[in-house]
Structure 1
């Protein structure tokens, strides 16, 4: 299966082209421009450079969240647009599961902690163990405090391999709590479209209209709106 994968859930954006689990090409930017300016041009250039037509792709894969609300929306919308335009199916994958594929570098049996900075003293997190050459889930995606995660990792009696843009936060917490942990090297810390493609292989593609973002919690705008409504109701 030939998959065009998109990743825009955090500061960096990337696209990748993979066939049956083998990376053909990948492009990544962390230029400060919005993903709406970089993601689609990167995809078009990558296809051009590999002499691949969008019609040749079997499915469009994308990190559907959790992550930046704006970034996830841009990624999902771009994937839908490409899929609709080319009449191709789509595959949405967990951002955290895609990140966990970077944990393959830690070896068989490794405990992989995928973490994204969710602000407000929380991270988006999931734990995995490398089994049979792929990450196997130990828990569902969640928003959790660093203190809670530290307590959980401390009970596992195993060094954690930390990946994702929240890895440094987790590493600092582990150091403070005396918990063994290894921070992934720079080339493996950030989310990647390659990880999205790897997480997509083996999944059943679906019509693009079924692709939906996953946020895990309300956006700041929605939280503020609910707070205003609650305050108004209390005054009535």
Structure 2
């Protein structure tokens, strides 16, 4: 199977092409990362890696998307690209946790021990999840959650963890800079069942609140009680 993997959940944005057999037999054919947030030309990145491998767009059989948590706009952009490809080509669409891809990348880079991956959640909060990276592999040992920055900085067990993330040095001077990996997103996603692209959603732990706009009648806002 030939997979196009995307992770736009943070900096840098990443695109990769993998080929192999699910769940674990994969070769990386091409990989590209680029900084710049919304200014990064996603389709141009995809075109570059396809050109590098000599693949035609029609040869892509599946798309894997990093679902965050992270940049909601970036994740939505990746999902939109996947949906367009699905509508045009009928490819399978997979999703993966971007923080898991950081842990997988750290393990592949030789990091071992208890690792906490942190990602900026705004409002002086961080997305955080704990992992155990052993010689034979890695696993998550703490659930993904939101924590106040100050609480993590002052935690009694701070020194027991290796802190990793795309901007980790903003909060932990001893941390190791490492972002999500499109390659690892592709590997992780292919272990799961595909879904229709509209079934995948960005990972966002805060409850979404909508405020319904009041109706306007004749230029006057009418309240729920019907009183202008």
TM-score bracket relative to the smaller structure: 0.7 to 0.9
Unmatched 5+ stretches in structure 2? 20-24, 213-222
Mapped contact 1:62–1:75 kept (Cα < 8 A): yes
Structure 1 residues 31 and 156, CA gap change in structure 2 (3 angstroms): closer
- Between the aligned partners of 2:78 and 2:70, the Cα distance in structure 1 is 11
1:135-174 CA-partner distances (Å, limit 9, x unpaired): 311122222112333455x437634141223x113423xx
Query: Could you say which structure has the higher helix fraction?
Result: 1
Equivalence for 1:100: 103
Equivalence for 1:82: 85
Equivalence for 1:39: 42
Q: How many pairs align?
A: 209
- Compute the TM-score of the two structures, normalised by the length of structure 1: 0.76
Mapped contact 1:12–1:30 kept (Cα < 8 A): yes
* Cα offset, 1:63, TM superposition: 0.9
Equivalence for 1:112: 115
SS in 2 for 1:21: strand
SS in 1 for 2:67: strand
Aligned-pair Cα RMSD in Å: 2.7
1:54-101 CA-partner distances (Å, limit 9, x unpaired): 332332001112111211111111122122322111111112111111
Equivalence for 1:196: 185
- Between the aligned partners of 1:95 and 1:48, the Cα distance in structure 2 is 26
* Cα offset, 1:102, TM superposition: 1.9
SS in 2 for 1:55: helix
Mapped contact 1:80–1:211 kept (Cα < 8 A): no
Equivalence for 1:216: 205
Among residues 21, 25, 33, which one is paired with 2:26 in the alignment? 21
* Cα offset, 1:50, TM superposition: 0.6
* Cα offset, 1:218, TM superposition: 5.3
1:183 matched to 2:188? The reply is no
Equivalence for 1:160: 162
Unmatched 5+ stretches in structure 1? 173-180, 227-231
- Between the aligned partners of 2:37 and 2:5, the Cα distance in structure 1 is 21
SS in 1 for 2:172: helix
- Compute the TM-score of the two structures, normalised by the length of structure 2: 0.78
1:152-207 CA-partner distances (Å, limit 9, x unpaired): 5x437634141223x113423xxxxxxxx5424xxxx1222122123223222223
- Between the aligned partners of 1:130 and 1:22, the Cα distance in structure 2 is 22
Mapped contact 1:98–1:195 kept (Cα < 8 A): yes
Mapped contact 2:2–2:62 kept (Cα < 8 A): yes
Structure 1 residues 118 and 25, CA gap change in structure 2 (3 angstroms): same
